[in-house]
Amino acid sequence: MDYLPIFIDLKDRQCVVVGGGEIAARKAALLLKAQAKVTIIAPDIAEPTRQMLADSQWAGRVFWLKAVFDKHHLYQQRIVIAATDDNEVNLAVYRAAKAKSLLVNVADEPELCDFILASILDRSPIVIAVSSGGQSPILARNLRARLETLIPPAYSRLGDLVGRYREAVKDKFSQLAQRRRFWESVLEGPVADHMLAGREALAEQTLQTLIDNTADNALQQGEVYLVGAGPGDPDLLTFKALRLMQQADVVFYDRLVSKEVLALVRREAELVYVGKQRAWHHKRQDEINFLLLEHAKQGRRVLRLKGGDPFIFGRGGEEIATLADNKIPFQVVPGITAASGCASYAGIPLTHRDYSQSCVFVTGQLKEGELDLNWQSLVQPRQTIVVYMGLVGLPELSQQLQAHGMRADMPAALVQQGTTENQKVWISTIAELPELAEREQPVAPTLVIIGEVTRLHNSLSWFNPADQNASIDQ
43 assigned binding-site residue: yes
Catalytic residue among 27, 37, 249, 254: 254
Of 67, 48, 68, nearest to 58 by C-alpha is 48
**Is 254 assigned a catalytic role?**
yes
430 assigned binding-site residue: no
Sign of CA dihedral 340, 346, 352, 357: negative
389 assigned binding-site residue: yes
The CA-atom distances, in angstroms, between 213 and each of 173, 208, 218, 227 are 12, 9, 10, 31
309 assigned binding-site residue: yes
Of 309, 314, 305, nearest to 258 by C-alpha is 305
Tell me phi and psi for residue 235, to 5 degrees. Answer: -65, -15
48 assigned binding-site residue: no
338 assigned binding-site residue: yes
195 assigned binding-site residue: no
122 assigned binding-site residue: no
233 assigned binding-site residue: no
Catalytic residue among 33, 172, 276, 283: 276
Residue 25's identity, in one-letter code, is A
214 assigned binding-site residue: no
**Is 276 assigned a catalytic role?**
yes
Q: What is d(CA 444, CA 172) in angstroms, rounded to the nearest whole number?
A: 51
Of 190, 206, 192, nearest to 152 by C-alpha is 192
Q: What is d(CA 399, CA 396) in angstroms, rounded to the nearest whole number?
A: 5
Contacts of 369 (CB under 8 A, 6+ apart): none
- CB neighbour class for 299 (10 Å; exposed up to 12, middle 13-18, buried from 19): middle
22 assigned binding-site residue: yes
Q: Which residues are annotated as a binding site for S-adenosyl-L-methionine?
A: 231, 307-309, 312, 337-338, 389, 418
Q: Which residues are annotated as a binding site for NAD(+)?
A: 22-23, 43-44
Q: Which residues are annotated as a binding site?
A: 22-23, 43-44, 231, 307-309, 312, 337-338, 389, 418
Catalytic residues: 254, 276
